[in-house]
Amino acid sequence: MSDPAFHIVLVRPEIPQNTGSIARLAAATRSRLHLVGPLGFSLEDRYLKRAGLDYWPLVDLRVYDNWDDFVALQDETPHASNFKYFSAHAEQAYVRAQFNLGEFLVFGSETRGLGREFLESRRGLAYRIPIFEYGVRSLNLANAASIILYEGLRQTGLLDSA
């Protein structure tokens, strides 16, 4: 498979249907999907498979036991600026991000996100999707990944050739 335009990284995903939907998104955009454990489900989960439909053979999937393994197992350790982190707790809106091909778009789990401590040292690289209703804590993980990935595709001009 050729180099992906983007890397979608899910850290400790918990809901198989969300991961399956994101796998379909990854296949559709020729992005690589990285699942960083521990996972909240089995990769054999029927809901995961159903959400991904018959696109699983088209998914460039990599699975890691934990964050340290993910960072260590990259072909070459990416520079920190090749990562963008997305959280409802970030200060900057995603529209301020400047996307570049090959970047790692990192999302946390559905219930815990990436965690404030994790984000603290990555503050300048963390972004949020604005939510206007105070009572809504976060967006669905698959929806958030779609919004961010397509903004990256738009900024890099890849949507122009689609």
- DSSP assignment, residue 130? -
Q: Could you tell me which CATH class the domain 7-161 is placed in?
A: alpha beta
C-alpha 27/C-alpha 59 separation (Å) is: 5
Residue 155: how many CB atoms within 10 A of its CB?
Answer: 15
- Confidence (pLDDT) at 24: 93
Measured CA distances, 52 to 12, 22, 58, 118 (Å) = 18, 8, 10, 29
Of residues 82, 97, 77, 16, the one with CA closest to residue 50: 16
Q: Which amino acid appears at position 147 of this protein?
A: I
Task: Provide the token pair at 88.
Answer: 């409802």
Q: Check whether 114 has a pLDDT greater than 80.
A: yes
| pLDDT tens string 7-48 | 999 999 999 999 999 999 999 999 999 999 999 988 886 766
Instruction: Parse the chain into domains and list their residue ranges.
Output: 7-161
Q: pLDDT tens for residues 66-85?
A: 999 998 877 555 555 699 99
Kindly report the number of other CB atoms within 10 A of residue 99's CB atom: 20
Judged against a pLDDT cut of 80, whether residue 140 lies above it is answered with yes
161: confidence class by pLDDT, cuts 50, 70, 90 = confident
Name which of 50-54, 70-74, 130-134 the model is least confident about.
Answer: 50-54
